[in-house]
Amino acid sequence: MAYSFVCELNGDPNVKIAHLRQQAGARGIVFVGDTSSGEFSGFGLSGRYAVHGTQVKVTIDSVPIFYTYQKAETQIRGFLRG
């Protein structure tokens, strides 16, 4: 079951996606993509994203056991705010 949400980037997409990549990598999550689209995976978490103007649509395909889609969304939104 996939879970999707849309997040306002509020800034330069290059900077926001670079920050997301850095935050994901620091947690052992493999992040492949650019400022238009990409994928992420690791430790049972997997998903993809697509940038549309100033918004990014994130689709989470799976989460680890004892982890919720909402918790993953909260963390990803935090990374994008940074």
**Looking at residue 35, which CATH number applies to its domain?**
3.30.310.50
Q: Which domain holds residue 67?
A: 3-81
pLDDT band at residue 71 under the 50/70/90 scheme? very high
Residue 16 pLDDT > 80, yes or no? yes
| Amino acid 78: pLDDT | 87
Residue 3: partners with Cβ closer than 8 Å, 6 or more residues away: 59, 60, 69, 72, 73
Residue 19 pLDDT > 90, yes or no? no
Q: What's the token pair of residue 58?
A: 């994130």
**Over pLDDT 70: what percentage of the chain?**
99
| Amino acid 20: pLDDT | 86
How many distinct structural domains can be found in the chain? 1
pTM greater than 0.95: no
Q: Work out the angle at residue 60's Cα, subtended by the Cα atoms of residues 38 and 76, and round it to the nearest 5 degrees.
A: 75
Cα separation, 47 vs 70, in Å, equals 14
Among residues 17, 59, 58, the alpha carbon closest in space to that of 34 is found at: 17
